[in-house]
C-alpha cells in the first residue's frame, strides 16, 4: 500500500502545503507574506492573520496540483514548533480539523528536523540523499546548528550558536546598511559584485563546535559608524564590498566548524539545510571544501532551503512509518529543541 501525506507548514511568515506519496513529491505550494516587508521584519499578529487567510486556498491548491482525491490522504503532518505561537496555532488547528474530518492520523513535526530531512524528498531532480550517519549544518533565521544525523528520526546537536543565528547576522547587518528585509538574499546578490577581502570583521573565538555572531555584528556596526563619520556616502559607495566581506566572514566562521566537526566525528557525508543554505557563496565554498576533503556534499535545491511543507511532509512520512502519531490535544511549541521528547 502506498502512503500519502499532506504536510502543513506555518511556523513563521510562509503558509505552505505539500503532498508526498511514498517519499515522492506530488506538490509543494508556498504563499509568502508580503505584508511584513514595510516593517523590516515579521510582525507576529499580521503573520497569524495572513496564515488564516491563506491556509485553506493553499491546501486546496496543493491537493489539486498533486492530482489526487482528498480520500487518498493517509495522514496530516504539521509543524508543531519551533516558531511564532500565533502562526503555529493556525497550522495546528487546521491539521486537527482536517484529521478529524477525514478520520486520519495527525503527525506532529519538529520544523528543524524538517529542514534536515528536506534532503530525503524525492523528485525528478533529487535522486541521491546523504547516507547515515551524516553531518548537517542547519542555518536559518532562528538557528545555527551542527547536527549528527544517525537515522531519519535520530539526530543529535553537537554545536550551536550561543547568540545570534547566521541568518540573523545577515539580516541585522543588512538592516543597518538600509537594505530591505530579509537581508540575506540581498547581501548574497550584492556580494557577487564586491571584494570579499575589502574589510575584515571580528571573528569569534568560541571553543569546540559552537558559534557566535554577535561580535561580528558589533564589529560591522562600528566599521560603518567610523567610516560614515569620515564619509557620509560610505555605505552607498562601498555596499558591494561590505556585503562581500560580511558574507565571506560568516561563511568562513560556519565552514571552519563544519571542518572541525567532520574531523572529530570522522564523517565524510556533509549536508547543509535551512534558509541560509540558499546562499551562493556558502554553496560554492562548501562544494570546494568538500572536493578538497573528499567529502560527499549535499546542497538542497533552492525550493527546499527556505520554509516549505514538503520538508514537513517527509518527516511526517517517516514518523507515520514508525507509527508515531499525535493525540488531538497536541499543542504548538514556540520553543521546541531538536530531539526533545515529543508527544
Ligand atoms: O529557514 P528559513 O526560511 O526560516 C527560518 O526557519 O528561520 O530562513 C530564513 C533566513 C533569513 O534570515 C534569510 O535572510 C536567510 O534565511 N536567507 C539567506 C539567503 N536566502 C535566505 N541568507 C543568505 N543568503 C541567501 N541567499
Ligand atoms: Zn525554517
pLDDT tens-digit map of 258-310 = 999 999 999 999 999 999 999 999 999 999 999 999 999 999 999 999 899 99
CATH number of the domain within which 186 lies: 3.30.420.40
pLDDT tens-digit map of 146-197 = 999 999 999 999 999 999 999 999 999 999 999 998 999 999 999 999 999 9
Ligand 1 interacting residues, C-beta cut-off 6 A: 12, 140-142, 167, 170-171, 182-185, 188, 274-276, 278-279, 306-307
Q: Are 22 and 3 in contact (CB under 8 A)?
A: yes
Kindly provide the b/e burial profile for residues 102-112, where b requires at least 16 CB atoms within 10 angstroms of the residue's own CB: eebbbbbbbbb
Tell me how far the alpha carbon of residue 195 lies from the centroid of ligand 1, in angstroms: 22
Does residue 249 sit in the same domain as residue 314?
no
Does residue 178 sit in the same domain as residue 286?
yes
Those residues with Cβ within 8 angstroms of residue 206's Cβ, 6 or more apart along the chain or in another chain: 162, 212
Tell me how many domains the chain contains: 2
Tell me how far the alpha carbon of residue 31 lies from the centroid of ligand 2, in angstroms: 14
Other Cβ atoms less than 10 A from the Cβ of 17: the count is 35
> Average pLDDT in the 1-20 region?
95
Does residue 81 sit in the same domain as residue 209?
no
Kindly identify the ligand whose nearest atom is closest to the C-alpha of 276.
1
Does residue 250 sit in the same domain as residue 121?
no
For residue 328, being part of any structural domain is answered with no
Does residue 117 sit in the same domain as residue 192?
no
Which whole-number Å values give the CA distances from 329 to 63, 95, 285, in the listed order?
26, 12, 45
> Average pLDDT in the 301-330 region?
97
Domain ranges, residue 144: 134-300
DSSP codes joined into one string, 141-194: SS-EEEEEEEETTEEEEEEEBSS--HHHHHHHHHHHTTPPSSHHHHHHHHHTTS
Does residue 275 sit in the same domain as residue 175?
yes
Q: What is the pTM for the complete model shown?
A: 0.95
- Mean pLDDT in the chain? 95
Does residue 310 sit in the same domain as residue 224?
no
Please check the confidence at residue 95 and state whether its pLDDT lies above 90.
Answer: yes
Does residue 308 sit in the same domain as residue 266?
no
pLDDT reported for residue 343: 46
Amino acid at each position: 500500500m502506498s502512503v500519502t501525506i499532506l504536510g502543513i507548514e506555518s511556523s513563521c511568515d510562509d503558509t505552505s502545503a505539500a503532498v508526498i506519496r511514498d517519499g515522492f513529491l506530488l506538490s509543494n505550494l508556498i504563499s509568502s507574506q508580503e505584508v511584513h516587508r514595510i516593517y523590516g521584519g515579521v510582525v507576529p499578529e499580521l503573520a497569524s492573520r495572513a496564515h488564516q487567510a491563506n491556509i485553506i486556498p493553499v491546501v486546496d491548491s496543493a491537493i489539486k496540483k498533486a492530482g489526487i482525491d482528498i480520500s487518498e490522504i493517509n495522514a496530516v503532518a504539521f509543524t508543531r514548533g519551533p516558531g511564532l505561537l500565533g502562526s503555529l496555532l493556525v497550522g495546528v488547528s487546521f491539521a486537527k480539523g482536517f484529521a478529524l474530518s477525514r478520520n486520519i492520523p495527525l503527525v506532529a513535526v519538529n520544523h528543524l528536523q524538517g529542514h534536515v530531512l528536506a534532503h530525503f524528498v524525492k523528485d525528478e531532480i533529487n535522486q541521491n540523499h546523504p547516507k547515515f550517519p551524516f553531518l548537517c549544518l542547519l542555518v536559518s533565521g532562528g538557528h545555527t546548528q551542527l547536527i549528527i544525523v544517525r537515522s531519519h528520526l535520530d539526530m543529535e546537536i553537537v554545536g550551536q550558536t550561543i547568540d545570534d543565528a547566521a541568518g540573523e547576522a545577515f539580516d541585522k547587518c543588512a538592516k543597518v546598511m538600509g537594505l530591505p528585509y530579509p537581508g540575506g538574499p540581498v547581501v548574497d546578490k550584492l556580494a557577487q559584485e564586491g571584494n570579499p577581502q575589502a574589510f575584515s570583521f571580528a571573528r569569534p573565538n568560541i571553543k569546540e563546535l559552537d558559534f557566535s555572531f554577535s561580535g561580528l555584528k558589533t564589529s560591522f556596526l562600528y566599521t560603518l559608524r567610523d567610516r560614515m563619520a569620515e564619509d557620509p556616502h560610505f555605505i552607498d559607495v562601498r555596499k558591494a564590498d561590505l556585503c562581500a566581506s560580511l558574507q565571506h566572514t560568516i561563511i568562513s566562521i560556519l565552514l571552519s566548524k563544519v571542518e572541525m566537526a567532520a574531523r572529530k566525528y570522522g564523517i565524510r557525508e556533509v549536508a547543509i539545510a535551512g534558509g541560509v543554505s540558499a546562499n551562493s557563496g556558502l554553496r560554492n565554498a562548501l562544494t570546494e571544501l568538500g572536493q578538497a576533503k573528499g567529502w560527499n556534499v549535499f546542497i538542497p535545491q533552492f525550493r527546499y532551503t527556505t520554509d516549505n511543507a514538503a520538508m514537513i511532509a517527509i518527516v511526517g512520512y517517516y514518523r507515520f512509518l514508525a507509527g508515531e502519531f499525535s493525540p488531538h490535544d497536541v499543542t504548538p511549541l514556540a520553543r521546541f529543541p531538536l530531539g526533545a521528547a515529543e508527544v
